[in-house]
Amino acid sequence: MASRRKRPRYDEKERYNAIECVSDDDEVVVHDISDTGFYTSSYTVPMPQPPVFHEVPNDLKTPATTEEDPDIGVAEADGIGDVEVDPEVGASKEDHGEQTQRQKLLEAYMEKLDQASFILMHREAHAMINRPCSCHRAGHLCLVRCLDCDQAPLLCPECWTDMHRYQPLHWAHVWDTSRGYFKRQDISTFGYRIVIGHPGHEPCTNGTDGPLNIIDVNGIHATRVRYCRCEGPPDKWKLLLQNGFFPGSVKDPQTAFTTRVLRHYQIINLQSKMPIYQYMKVLRRLTDNVFTGNVPEVVKQFTLVMRLWSLMEAKRRAGHLHNMDSLFPCRNPNSLVVYCPCCPEREVNLDPEWKDTPNHLMHLHQSRFTIDGNYQANHILKKGAKTDTYLWRDNGYFENADDYDRLCGFKEPDKTEKSVCGHLGALNKQNRAKFKNTDISGIVNVQCDHIFVLASGNLKLGERYIAVDRVVARALHHRQFGDGEEQPPITLSYDAMCSYCVNLPARWDVTHPELKHLLRHMRFVIPICHCRNHIDSCEPLYLYVYKDGVGWFPAETAEMYWPILNATGAACRQMNLGPREEGINMSHGDWNWRKVVGISHQLYKDLNERKAIYIEKRDHFAALCRIFASKVKVWNSMDRSPQVINRQNVQSVYMHSSEKGPTLHSLVDEMKRSREEVQTPLGNSRIGAVASYLLKGLDIHLEQEEVSRLARKYRDRPWEDLKGLLAKRAKLQSNLEKFREHQEQILPGIFDELHTAVCEPEEERLCLPSDFSAEERYLLKLSALATKEVKLLRARLDLMVHALRVVVRIYSAAILRKIDDSRGQVQNTRSNQDIASIREERDQLIQNYASLRERLRRLEPKDMQRWPELTVADTYRKPTEQRRVPGMTRVHEGSLWKLPTQSQGRKGNKDAMPVGSIRGDMVMLEGSAQHVEGEDGEPFCDVESFNYSEPTWNPENKRGKKKINEEVIEAESDEGITVKDDGWIWNPGQLQRMTGAEMKDWEETSDRVQWFRAEAEFERAREEVEIKHAEFARCIRFFACMRDKWTTCAEQSAFPGHAAYAREHSDIYDALRQDAEAKFSRCSIPMLRTVPSGKTLADQVIAYRAQEEKYFDFDRQVGRPLFQDPTMHGTPEGFRDYREDVDS
């Protein structure tokens, strides 16, 4: 079995149209790239049966590499990893004094090290030296051995020569009888001549002998060859090539390189970026590691040959020797670029029916490109750098240097181009000392979102827009669409896009008039990480998440190739310009080819990941729609398009406007009002003494929890003031005594019969139905009361969730306000204290929620799914006043924002609970309660009939909270109670306060921004799932097309070698196609994978979207304005109405 790391089998059952995604045991993966990084295992495709390797024992497996590579990335350490971690305690074995596998293996080898050294030293001689050779010829002694052959016997010189006639570049180790050791020699020392061109490799009687330096992977051989003259004077250059040797010159070559060493260095250079000089140094040392200076120096010849070899390999791969250009009329003639299988390409992988796609679904066929500059791939200014010819001419990733310089105006005086966003340094680096002594300051790349390099161009003294234009134009020319033809949309990303795209039409009028028609199909975005360096108005205009039809496009993938290019740039920095650009071309081509091989797995991982993100975003957005059910219809009618005001300011529903924001103290004041003003929801109607008893019992239970927390705090910190605890305990004792009196009226004698032991008031048993087991409730006839308590507990939990949301919202904003408003030690200390009080209130609410939830669990365990456990992590809420930051996509809001409340309840749902706050002190302002019959026939309050608004509370009211609470419970009047706002309890100091109306407006804006941002994330995630299905389909069509093209080349080839090469590549692409189809079938949504005859993918997407709308309680397309992107050039059609597409 092949030695490759396997992933355990897992069943990933996703709530996604009942799709079950299963990753098989034998699935071997390659590489995954997302907004966060690289994931890796190994990769295979269903090629013909590979060679069989034995499984490496676990103790000999090496850790996976962490190089950023398209087919190798970060993998879990296996075998002899550096540190083994105990999953039980999270500590490494080294912390417990245990040995790791690496240490055990090293100790085992250290015990055998002397023995191993002895065995290897024993091989310096041979037991058969000077004994008769196995050929039994007289005088033939065993004196020569070959270490390049495995387990080769010791032979006489004649037998050794005969055995190496077809391996003449193995070194002969000849025993020196006089000196007593082996000497390494070339085969020519035995009088043998390597036969070049004669049939059967037999010595040619008419041959011409001559010296030749042959370079192979085991060293440099100064040997002798014999050229065949049977057919006339030998053409040495041709004869050498026919026999697998690449001559160093055309006329009378004196040096030749085996194709084996050329291939060997090419792979080493592409993988490790080893320069030619270092590689030749290695070969010279392999030849003689002592007198290395005596070995011929062939760096110049090898450099020339490698340039030619690389160009030949690129042409072979591109099919130039098979006239492949005639089969791809829409590509640039003689192009050596490796194309992306997923990006739309006309007559290759683009859906023939793509033009029938509605405008709002054109993202299914869009191309997404990134632009970025790299200043590590610069070039040192040197004399004669331009003397070397650029062999790739205009066929590679770089444009012809002379045309590029002329069109970019590099020879003209530099004109500084400044960006409006002052933090952008790339455009303002002109004339800086960092570019001193360089004639090329770096390169700019255009890549697709699958990280395929499309085009490159040199930069001089910063990123001039005209130079960037040339590279973008070259990338667009690779997939030709004529003027007047309908174009798929293009999304272009650049870190300076806010300045770059403004004058793009004017520049292209002069430099690229043939491409100007593409501008009306272009969208412009700024990468999410770079957007943080821009002014605030750039975010709603250029951030991908706020643009309809762009998909999930963070656009930071341009940076992922730079580690590879940085190493290439360092190796090419001091080359002449021609070899430098050829080296970068080879790096681009190799990267792209490895991406082609691993693209199906990348799509497989991306689609699975995007589906999971989509489900999370969909469910979160649906939960917010239920929470804000009374507001979503109004919000939905608002325009999502950013509005540019006076060409400077931008207004967007995704951001807070410039209205007055709350200060830290006003936030704390609002939290206090919210806590003290809220009263019980079961008021304004006589509900009987039973309801009052239960409600008071729950209030006292929360008081007990508060006193218990204070008691624990005092035990842990005895230096704290005991006065507060004693006062709270005394108040609790008083309330508890009054509660017992009320309890005696409802349940006479029950407390005395339980014989409760003497204890602190916070430890007393309240004797509510939830304090008893089911059997005890039956015996004590408390079943009816238990039913009432279940309803009260549900209502109280609902109120607590609502209050917790208010506190969390204020806590999140308070931290940001501290950063913005607090200056100096005094203000920061005060702010920290205020934030700590908010955090304490939040934690108290969580604990109260857990306590009441436990009571509900004893009475109604089935409700636990509706009211899950709540932790601090579940209360996380993305700050709406803060701009989006990288990684926010993968940070999900806590489950607090998914818990049900009354505002989420649908009509007819009797379990729906009112929205309010805690402590049973909510004031009902409007509406009336309706009397309904409970299970035991006694009147009980229907909580669904209440209509609540924001509560208020005035501490100056002589009746007090308790009196109001009792009156609300027992009053029969329909009139509500209106009280004044609470006063400011702290000294306001220097910070400005907000009125109640201003605070309410701010909260409304905060909720609206949260809802719109969640909607944007949901829609971009949905678009990305649809895009990945389209990309998978294009990838499969691309491989099928390439398979057919190579098959055609094989059929049309007149030479057997050409036909064999074409058939091999046809099978490669067919294997890649099969692998892509298998992965697509495992991870796709059936409705989007299988397109019925007569239908298009867009039709399936419309049907799928209609199916997904069941998660929302309102028609999201009714009254929704069409999105208009103000950064687009031209007058694109607006997105069609969703329902029109469904009807059609």
| Res. 685 pLDDT band, cuts 50 70 90 | very low
Q: Give the tens place of pLDDT for each residue, 309-341.
A: 999 999 999 999 999 989 998 888 899 999 999
Amino acid 736: pLDDT: 83
Is the Cβ–Cβ distance between 213 and 220 less than 8 Å?
yes
Amino acid 710: pLDDT: 83
Q: Phi and psi for 257 in degrees, rounded to 5?
A: -125, 135
Please compute the mean of the pLDDT values over residues 76-99 and round it to a whole number: 47
Pick from 132, 120, 152: nearest CA to 143: 132
Is the Cβ–Cβ distance between 101 and 107 less than 8 Å?
no
Q: Give the tens place of pLDDT for each residue, 386-422.
A: 778 889 988 999 987 666 565 565 444 444 455 556 5
Residue 501 token pair: 């795209």
pLDDT at 693 over 80: no
Is the Cβ–Cβ distance between 552 and 607 less than 8 Å?
no
| Res. 691 pLDDT band, cuts 50 70 90 | low
Is the Cβ–Cβ distance between 553 and 362 less than 8 Å?
no
Of residues 259 and 925, more confidence is placed in 259
pLDDT at 60 over 50: no
Pick from 554, 344, 555, 366: nearest CA to 446: 555
Of residues 967 and 1002, more confidence is placed in 1002
Q: Three-class SS of residue 331?
A: coil
Cβ neighbors of 496 (< 8 A, separation 6 or more) are: 419, 421, 424, 426, 427, 463
Please compute the mean of the pLDDT values over residues 223-247 and round it to a whole number: 89
Q: Is the dihedral of CA 90, 91, 92, 93 positive or negative?
A: negative
Of residues 817 and 429, more confidence is placed in 817
Which residue has 């003294």 as its token pair? 461
Please compute the mean of the pLDDT values over residues 245-254 and round it to a whole number: 92
pLDDT at 356 over 50: yes
Average pLDDT taken over every residue of the chain: 76
Q: How many CA atoms lie within 13 A of 344 on its CB side?
A: 23
Produce one character per residue of 612-649: b if its CB has 16 or more CB atoms within 10 Å, e if not. Answer: ebbebbbebbbbbbbbbbeebeeebeeebbbeeeeeee
* Amino acid in the structure at residue 950: E
pLDDT at 372 over 90: yes
- Point out the least confidently predicted range of 21-30, 156-165, 280-289, 809-818: 21-30
Produce one character per residue of 295-316: b if its CB has 16 or more CB atoms within 10 Å, e if not. Answer: beebeebbbebbbebbbebbbe
- Point out the least confidently predicted range of 767-776, 877-886, 916-925: 916-925
For residue 380, the surrounding DSSP H or E stretch is strand 379-380
Is the Cβ–Cβ distance between 762 and 708 less than 8 Å?
yes
Amino acid 882: pLDDT: 61
Which residue has 């905060």 as its token pair? 1006
Which residue has 């304005």 as its token pair? 1121
CA distance 809 to 1006: 8
Q: Give the tens place of pLDDT for each residue, 975-1007.
A: 333 333 322 212 223 223 456 677 677 778 888
Residue 685 token pair: 């109607």
Of residues 93 and 506, more confidence is placed in 506
Pick from 943, 974, 977: nearest CA to 685: 974
For residue 459, the surrounding DSSP H or E stretch is strand 453-459
pLDDT at 848 over 90: no
Amino acid 663: pLDDT: 46
Pick from 126, 301, 143, 149: nearest CA to 215: 301
Q: Give the tens place of pLDDT for each residue, 554-571.
A: 888 888 999 999 999 998
Pick from 1123, 1120, 1118, 1084: nearest CA to 1104: 1084
Amino acid 846: pLDDT: 85
Q: Give the tens place of pLDDT for each residue, 740-765.
A: 877 777 676 665 555 455 688 888 88
Amino acid 1105: pLDDT: 94
- Point out the least confidently predicted range of 91-95, 222-226, 535-539: 91-95
CA distance 904 to 621: 13
Residue 168 token pair: 């003449």
What single DSSP character describes residue 167? -
Q: Three-class SS of residue 174?
A: strand
Is the Cβ–Cβ distance between 470 and 457 less than 8 Å?
yes
CA distance 1093 to 951: 60
| Res. 969 pLDDT band, cuts 50 70 90 | very low
Kindly report whether the global pTM for this prediction surpasses the value 0.75. no
CA distance 964 to 961: 5
Please compute the mean of the pLDDT values over residues 38-44 and round it to a whole number: 38
Amino acid 384: pLDDT: 72
Q: Three-class SS of residue 1029?
A: helix
Using a pLDDT cut of 90, give the percent of the chain over it.
37
Is the Cβ–Cβ distance between 1134 and 1122 less than 8 Å?
yes
- Among left, alpha and beta (phi > 0; psi -120 to 50; other), residue 151 is left
Amino acid 752: pLDDT: 58
Of residues 724 and 630, more confidence is placed in 630
Please compute the mean of the pLDDT values over residues 691-706 and round it to a whole number: 79
Produce one character per residue of 36-70: b if its CB has 16 or more CB atoms within 10 Å, e if not. Answer: eebbbbbbbbeeeeeeeeeeeeeeebeebeeebbb
Of residues 500 and 87, more confidence is placed in 500
Please compute the mean of the pLDDT values over residues 93-111 and round it to a whole number: 80
pLDDT at 650 over 70: yes
Pick from 717, 757, 872: nearest CA to 807: 872
Residue 12 token pair: 């990933």
What string of DSSP letters covers 336-374? -PPPPSSS--TTTTS-TTGGGS-GGGGGGG-EEEEEEEE
| Res. 968 pLDDT band, cuts 50 70 90 | very low
pLDDT at 677 over 60: no
Of residues 456 and 91, more confidence is placed in 456
CA distance 598 to 604: 10
For residue 820, the surrounding DSSP H or E stretch is helix 783-821
Sheet holding 367-374, edge to edge: 453-459, 442-448, 367-374, 490-494, 522-525
pLDDT at 676 over 70: no
Of residues 345 and 958, more confidence is placed in 345
Please compute the mean of the pLDDT values over residues 5-29 and round it to a whole number: 37
pLDDT at 34 over 90: no
pLDDT at 35 over 90: no
Residue 1048 token pair: 């055609």
- Point out the least confidently predicted range of 485-499, 637-651, 690-704: 690-704
Is the Cβ–Cβ distance between 29 and 609 less than 8 Å?
no
Amino acid 189: pLDDT: 92
Residue 26 token pair: 């034998």
Is the Cβ–Cβ distance between 595 and 560 less than 8 Å?
no
Using a pLDDT cut of 70, give the percent of the chain over it.
70
Which residue has 């729906």 as its token pair? 912
174 CB-contact burial (10 Å; exposed 0-12 / middle 13-18 / buried 19+): middle
CA distance 1018 to 623: 12
- Point out the least confidently predicted range of 45-54, 489-498, 1009-1018, 1124-1133: 45-54
Amino acid 1035: pLDDT: 97
Q: Phi and psi for 817 in degrees, rounded to 5?
A: -65, -35
| Res. 930 pLDDT band, cuts 50 70 90 | very low
Pick from 587, 262, 558: nearest CA to 392: 587
Give me the residue spans of the domains in the chain: 144-318, 337-596, 664-993
Amino acid 696: pLDDT: 80
For residue 216, the surrounding DSSP H or E stretch is strand 208-216
- Point out the least confidently predicted range of 180-194, 213-227, 818-832: 818-832
pLDDT at 734 over 60: yes
pLDDT at 500 over 80: yes
Q: How far is CA 904 from the centre of its chain?
A: 33
Computed on alpha carbons and rounded to an integer, the radius of gyration of the chain in Å comes to: 39
Is the Cβ–Cβ distance between 506 and 429 less than 8 Å?
no
CA distance 149 to 463: 55
Q: Is the dihedral of CA 899, 904, 906, 907 positive or negative?
A: positive
